[in-house]
């Protein structure tokens, strides 16, 4: 029945997109080839009457996705992080996609809590409110623990959400295969890869233990960050479909009037939001990738509180160093170095001209730095930068797209708090500090120590590896009756490598 289900669901999807006026918007955003456009209109137009009407006050794309339900809403949110796929205009439209759905009943939520935690709600909580927020995957209740009288937030997955998502994701895969089959020109958009990425994101959010783990790791990384708080994860009251965490009491970061009335310094808050994001991305390589005002509060003491850890970004150490050098090069207006970093990292093909690329980057940076401080935008810089690198054949890197998207959101949050903030002045000390620690002499010593530690784990095996190499080489030479080939250098090479690691380790230890 998978085939009929998918076909019916796709017809209903096409009909809804046609009825809401979203069909052309989406096809244009994806630059869909003619065969795919014909197929989409064939699935939509004759069955337009079957489509959901949606909220006519919303833009066409968000109206259609909201009408189609939770899986489509979440798909739209994930696509908003991929302007490389859907284009900048549609990505902006999808970022404001309202993720507010009718809540399910308090009784259903209590039943799920009891099934997951193995105790009655009355045994665990002395209070358990009606839902205070409902989204596409879960909803939140305010509660109080009976054992400690601690006020907590309880996040509960929607009943049957896993099955509903599985059905719709299956239809998405079916649609991606059709696009591959009937529109070869659309393969450059990698529709199957897009759906796999979405599937992975959703599977992570459908297991609240993974979100709890993400929050726990984030808390461990940021425990010493001044002016920043995370709600405590209560593992003994959390499971796959239920997550309990300490209640985050504070003012919404987007309510400027309330912040002013409480006496908070919005300029300081704006600078802190920006510096915290950069510190987490560069120092830890693990950052909150959904830092909009709805996921941030301000505590009474002025600390910023973050919550909702369903979407987290990860960047490896090497990419962090590249990203920091690029940002620092722009801050210093050293466009030749920015260009060289792109080539060294392999982001731009080696057959391109580095000087020509540097001039293109200067055309990106100089107009921005010539602006008034209130108009200097990191988000605009990154957008321009990706346009230039695309012209020079740079391949899309998903982790950088997510970083770019989060940077744009964070910049928007900072400017909403203080329209006159100088983004670059706020970023400079964080980026410069990271550069000193990760690229200077101390970083070289640290890298040598890390390499030595890895080699040390193989130390007990080195004699056996050398012996095996000697035996294999001797056997090969006896059979062929020839003098040793270049592969004979494997043994002294291993010995030299081992000695080199010992020297490196000693140097690092005494530095």
Task: List active site positions.
Answer: 290
DSSP letter at 22? H
Cβ–Cβ under 8 Å, residues 357 and 337: no
Sheet holding 125-134, edge to edge: 125-134, 138-145, 151-157, 242-246
Q: Where are the alpha helices (DSSP H) in 21-105?
A: 22-29, 34-44, 60-68, 70-79, 83-86, 88-95
Closest CA to 389 of 352, 423, 424: 352
Tokens (6 digits) for 201: 């994101």
| Location of structure tokens 């960050």 | 225
Tokens (6 digits) for 19: 């009825």
Looking at the DSSP assignment, which residues form a beta bridge with residue 152?
143, 246
Cβ–Cβ under 8 Å, residues 293 and 444: no
133 in the Ramachandran plot: left (φ > 0), alpha (ψ -120 to 50) or beta?
A: beta
Cβ–Cβ under 8 Å, residues 420 and 376: no
| Location of structure tokens 């530690």 | 453
Cβ–Cβ under 8 Å, residues 388 and 330: no
Tokens (6 digits) for 260: 């002013």
Cβ–Cβ under 8 Å, residues 208 and 215: no
Question: Which regions of 276-429 does DSSP assign to beta strands (E)?
Answer: 286-288, 296-298, 304-306, 312-314
DSSP letter at 242? E
Instruction: Give 81: exposed, middle or buried? Use CB within 10 Å, 0-12, 13-18, 19+.
Output: buried
Instruction: Give 485: exposed, middle or buried? Use CB within 10 Å, 0-12, 13-18, 19+.
Output: exposed
Residue 449 makes CB contacts below 8 A (sequence gap 6+) with: 504, 505, 508, 509
Give CA angle at 492 (489, 495), nearest 5°: 145
Tokens (6 digits) for 213: 């783990």
Burial 126-149 (b: 16+ CB within 10 A, else e): eebeebebbbbbbbbbbbbbeeee
Q: How many residues does the chain have?
A: 511
């Amino acid at each position: 029945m998978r085939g009929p289900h998918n076909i019916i669901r796709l017809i209903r999807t096409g009909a809804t997109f046609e009825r809401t006026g979203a069909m052309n918007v989406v096809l244009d955003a994806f630059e869909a080839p003619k065969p795919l456009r014909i197929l989409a209109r064939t699935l939509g137009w004759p069955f337009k009457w079957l489509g959901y009407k949606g909220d006519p006050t919303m833009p066409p794309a968000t109206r259609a996705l909201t009408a189609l339900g939770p899986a489509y809403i979440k798909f739209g949110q994930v696509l908003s992080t991929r302007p490389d796929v859907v284009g900048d205009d549609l990505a902006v439209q999808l970022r404001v996609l309202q993720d507010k759905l009718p809540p399910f009943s308090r009784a259903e939520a209590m039943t799920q809590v009891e099934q997951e935690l193995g105790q009655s709600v009355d045994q665990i909580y002395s209070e358990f409110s009606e839902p205070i927020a409902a989204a596409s995957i879960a909803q939140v209740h305010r509660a109080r623990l009976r054992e400690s009288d601690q006020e907590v937030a309880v996040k509960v997955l929607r009943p049957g959400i896993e099955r509903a998502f599985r059905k719709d994701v299956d239809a998405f895969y079916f649609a991606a295969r059709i696009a591959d089959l009937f529109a070869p020109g659309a393969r450059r958009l990698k529709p199957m890869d897009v759906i796999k990425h979405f599937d992975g994101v959703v599977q992570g959010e459908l297991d609240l233990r993974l979100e709890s783990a993400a929050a726990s790791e984030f808390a461990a990384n940021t425990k010493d960050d001044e002016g920043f708080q995370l709600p405590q994860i209560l593992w003994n009251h959390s499971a796959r479909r239920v997550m309990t965490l300490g209640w985050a009491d504070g003012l919404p970061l987007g309510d400027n009037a309330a912040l002013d009335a409480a006496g908070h310094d919005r300029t300081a808050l704006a600078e802190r939001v920006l510096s915290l994001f950069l510190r987490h991305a560069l120092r830890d390589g693990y950052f909150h990738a959904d830092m909009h005002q709805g996921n941030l509060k301000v505590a009474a003491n002025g600390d910023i509180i973050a919550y909702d850890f369903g979407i987290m970004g990860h960047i490896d150490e090497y990419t962090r160093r590249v990203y920091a050098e690029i940002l620092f090069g722009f801050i210093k207006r050293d466009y030749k170095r920015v260009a060289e970093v792109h080539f060294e990292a392999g982001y731009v093909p080696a057959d391109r001209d580095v000087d020509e690329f540097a001039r293109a980057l200067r055309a990106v940076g100089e107009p921005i730095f010539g602006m008034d401080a209130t108009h200097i935008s990191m988000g605009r810089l990154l957008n321009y930068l990706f346009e230039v690198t695309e012209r020079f054949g740079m391949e899309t890197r998903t982790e950088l797209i997510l970083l770019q998207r989060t940077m744009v959101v964070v910049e928007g949050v900072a400017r909403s708090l203080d329209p006159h903030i100088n983004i670059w002045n706020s970023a400079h000390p964080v980026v410069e500090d990271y550069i000193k620690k990760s690229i200077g002499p101390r970083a070289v010593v640290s890298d040598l120590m890390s390499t030595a530690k890895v080699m040390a784990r193989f130390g007990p095996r080195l004699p056996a590896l050398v012996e095996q190499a000697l035996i294999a080489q001797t056997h090969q030479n006896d059979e062929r009756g020839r003098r040793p080939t270049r592969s004979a250098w494997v043994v002294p090479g291993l010995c030299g490598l081992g000695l080199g690691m010992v020297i490196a380790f000693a140097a690092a230890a005494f530095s």
